[in-house]
């Protein structure tokens, strides 16, 4: 037994020495060409705003390295080992795949430490990262998803990339009275109650006349840049999408919403909104972009087509009819022939579209998720959910991704299910059911 123990120990020592030698043999840095020759993976450790295309300085490069994955060092505190393993599996990364990181030194080290802990044995630095502007990739319209420091610089009258062309307003959107807003909000932000843009019985968009009056009340013209945020991103997206329909040319949302601002430890203020000077005229006909909304008949006409997709942005339990998702919507199921575009765990979450910090997942991840259900960028795509909020968030992401023919079916499941003649499906089903 003693002899076996010694042999075992010797083998263990040799194994450790081999592993140590292997790690020592790994280059500290690799160029992109060297990494690609090894079929390795590139990981961008910066925040998603920089990954998406915002330059880190006014004259800096814009975008990320080809096919790079985004694993921000700032997410890791919110990611368990199991979640990190799931992220790696989702992106088909195994511990033996060579990985090269880029970002700042501290972020790279943070991510490297976590990856090594997860078993990755070939982690190095990308030595030529962000040095060749012509090879970088970016979100088609990254400027439509702003980040906290951009707003802060704008408010300080400092130069920013993709600055508004004229007048601009920061606005918080939320349902009902501004209770949380009164306690703490972005300095100078106004407040729009979502009841001003949608109404019962189906919580559809208000009439164009009421919409015109609402915009005037908040001092918004067609050439005002609206910068919206919410305690929930989809509240801001709901108002943003309706403003675009009305004809406001430049509408942006704060990626990650109020949480992103709070996490950035930027200034806040308390109290009621400042008095707003009403706009005497919108300056253009309303609606300026009617194609951004489809009605029930148009939605029905998009079913079972290869050049169009009617897309359910509802949780899987809602899509298969286990729950309606809402206390005030009784029928269960979903539109027969609609394609599932994912959402979250229930009617109040959108995890499928979010990074761990609540910002938008990478465009590649979202496009892959949609492609599995034959939802494609060249199609005419209309998103819907129960009453429009989650659909609007998906719409804003698709728009930022550069999808050209996107809309919201405002009536959604609430309207569709209130007409018994409309076809409904229940039970688990796959993409083949939508052909």
> pLDDT (tens digit, 9 = 90+) per residue, 220-274?
999 999 999 999 999 999 999 999 999 999 999 999 999 999 999 999 999 998 8
pLDDT on residue 27: 58
Residue 237 tokens, joined: 């997206």
Q: Which residues make Cβ contacts (< 8 Å) with residue 113, sequence separation at least 6?
A: none
Residues with catalytic function? 385
108-164 pLDDT, tens digit per residue, is: 999 999 999 999 999 999 999 999 999 999 999 999 999 999 999 999 999 999 999
CA gap 397, 395 in Å, rounded: 5
Q: Which of these, 403, 357, 363, lies nearest to 380 by C-alpha position? A: 403
Q: How, if at all, do strands 424-425 and 334-335 pair?
A: antiparallel
Q: At which residue do the structure tokens 């992106």 appear? A: 91
CA gap 95, 364 in Å, rounded: 22
Q: What is 23-56 written as a DSSP string? A: HHHS-SEE-HHHHHHTT-EEEE-S-HHHHHT--S
Give the torsion through C-alpha atoms of 214, 229, 162, 396, to 10 deg.
-80
CA gap 76, 36 in Å, rounded: 26
Q: Which residues make Cβ contacts (< 8 Å) with residue 177, sequence separation at least 6?
A: 193
Q: What is 127-164 written as a DSSP string? A: TTTT--GGG-B--TTGGGEE-HHHHHHHHTT---TT--
Q: Long-range contacts of range 298-303, CB-CB < 8 Å, 24 or more positions apart? A: 298/382, 298/409, 299/335, 299/382, 299/384, 299/409, 299/411, 299/416, 300/422, 302/380, 302/382, 303/335, 303/336, 303/337, 303/338, 303/434
Phi, psi of 347 (to 5 degrees): -70, -5
User: Do 278 and 213 contact (CB within 8 A), yes or no?
Assistant: no
DSSP 8-state class, residue 166 = S
CA gap 143, 13 in Å, rounded: 54
Q: For 186-198, give the secondary structure using H, E and C.
A: CCCCEEEEHHHCE
pLDDT on residue 274: 82
pLDDT, averaged per 10 consecutive residues of the chain (435 residues), comes to 39 39 58 97 98 95 97 97 96 96 97 97 97 97 98 98 97 96 97 95 94 97 98 98 98 98 97 90 97 98 97 98 96 97 97 98 98 98 97 98 98 96 96 91
Chain centre distance of CA 160: 22
DSSP 8-state class, residue 402 = T
Residues in the chain: 435
Q: Which of these, 432, 307, 303, lies nearest to 372 by C-alpha position? A: 432
Rg, Å, the chain Cα set: 24
Q: Is 359 helix (H, G, I), strand (E, B) or coil?
A: coil
Q: Is the pTM of this model over 0.85?
A: yes
Residue 37 tokens, joined: 């020759």
Residue 53 tokens, joined: 């295309």
344-359 pLDDT, tens digit per residue, is: 999 999 999 999 999 9
Q: What is 244-279 written as a DSSP string? A: HHHT-S-EEEETTHHHHHHHTT---B-SSPPP-PPP
Cβ neighbourhood burial of 294 (10 Å; 0-12, 13-18, 19+): buried
Q: Which of these, 179, 147, 130, lies nearest to 54 by C-alpha position? A: 147
Residue 391 tokens, joined: 């659909």
């Amino acid at each position: 037994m003693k002899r076996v123990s010694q042999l075992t120990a010797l083998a263990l020592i040799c194994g450790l020495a081999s592993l140590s030698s292997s790690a020592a043999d790994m280059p500290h840095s690799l160029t992109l060409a060297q990494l690609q020759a090894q079929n390795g993976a590139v990981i961008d450790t910066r925040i998603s705003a920089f990954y998406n295309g915002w330059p880190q300085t006014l004259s800096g490069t814009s975008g990320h390295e080809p096919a790079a994955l985004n694993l921000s060092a700032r997410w890791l505190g919110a990611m368990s080992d199991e979640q990190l393993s799931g992220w790696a599996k989702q992106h088909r990364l195994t511990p033996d795949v060579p990985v090269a990181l880029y970002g700042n030194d501290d972020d790279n080290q943070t991510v490297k430490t976590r990856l090594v802990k997860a078993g990755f044995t070939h982690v190095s630095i990308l030595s030529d990262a962000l040095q060749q502007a012509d090879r970088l990739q970016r979100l088609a319209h990254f400027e439509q998803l702003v980040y906290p420091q951009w707003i802060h610089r704008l408010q300080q009258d400092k130069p920013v990339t993709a600055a508004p062309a004229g007048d601009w307003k920061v606005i918080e959107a939320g349902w009902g009275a501004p209770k949380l807003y009164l306690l703490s909000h972005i300095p100078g932000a106004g407040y729009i109650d979502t009841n001003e843009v949608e109404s019962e019985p189906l919580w559809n968009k208000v009439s164009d006349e009421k919409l015109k009056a609402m915009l005037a009340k908040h001092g918004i013209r067609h050439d005002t840049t609206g910068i919206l945020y919410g305690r929930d991103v989809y509240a801001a997206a709901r108002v943003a999408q309706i403003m675009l329909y009305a004809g406001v040319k430049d509408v942006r949302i704060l990626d990650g919403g109020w949480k992103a601002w709070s996490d950035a430890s930027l200034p806040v203020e308390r109290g009621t909104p400042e008095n707003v000077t009403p706009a005497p005229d919108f300056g253009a006909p309303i609606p300026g972009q009617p194609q951004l909304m489809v009605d029930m008949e148009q939605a029905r006409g998009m079913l079972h087509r290869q050049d169009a997709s009617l897309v359910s942005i509802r949780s899987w339990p809602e899509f298969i009819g286990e729950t309606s998702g809402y206390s005030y919507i009784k029928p269960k199921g979903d539109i027969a022939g609609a394609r599932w575009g994912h959402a979250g765990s229930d009617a109040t979450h959108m995890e499928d579209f979010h990074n761990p910090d609540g910002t938008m997942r990478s465009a590649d991840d979202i496009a892959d998720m949609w492609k599995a259900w034959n939802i494609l960028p060249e199609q005419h795509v209309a998103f819907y959910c129960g009453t429009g909020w989650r659909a609007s968030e998906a719409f804003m992401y698709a728009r930022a991704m550069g999808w050209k023919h996107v809309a919201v079916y405002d009536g959604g499941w609430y309207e569709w299910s209130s007409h018994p003649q409309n076809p409904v499906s229940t039970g688990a089903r796959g993409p083949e059911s939508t052909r």
